[in-house]
Amino acid sequence: MANISKRSITTLFRPVGQAELDLIEAADWKRFPPRLEWQPIFYPVLTEDYAIRISRDWNTKDPNSQYVGYVLRFDVMKFFLDRYEIHEAGGRELREYWIPAEHLDEFNDNIVGTISITHEFRPTGQDQEPKS
């Protein structure tokens, strides 16, 4: 972020399961994987608390997530996000962007720096420190 002002970026969060995390790691922590055919929207969320709720309460119960939830943190150029509305998903504290799947490559191109893990949740209650 050498020449990028903090005012020109927005910090976002994303709850993910193991398979998506593996794909992000394979992309050197710089890109989110393409959406699956039945996933027309990419949903980054605005607060870490919201991402924690999803990772802890949903991903750890989901076989598709391999019963693990991660919270990811990353920065995106604000000018790119300004094209999209923020949506409330059940309350003011549950806010997210709806990025159409066909815009995900451009979204990835506007990530500043790398994606990092802030939390890891497992169904046993033995949550772990982030890997990276």
Name the residue among 55, 46, 56 with its Cα closest to residue 95: 46
pLDDT in 10s for each residue of the chain, 132 residues: 457 787 899 999 999 999 999 999 999 999 999 998 899 999 999 999 999 999 999 999 999 899 999 999 999 999 999 999 999 988 888 999 999 999 999 999 999 999 999 999 998 655 455 554
Q: Where are the domains of the chain?
A: 6-121
The answer to whether the predicted template modeling score (pTM) of the entire model surpasses 0.85 is: yes
3-state class of 80 per DSSP? helix
Q: What number does CATH give the domain 6-121?
A: 3.20.170
Name the residue among 4, 122, 131 with its Cα closest to residue 62: 122
Task: Please compute Rg for the chain using Cα positions.
Answer: 14
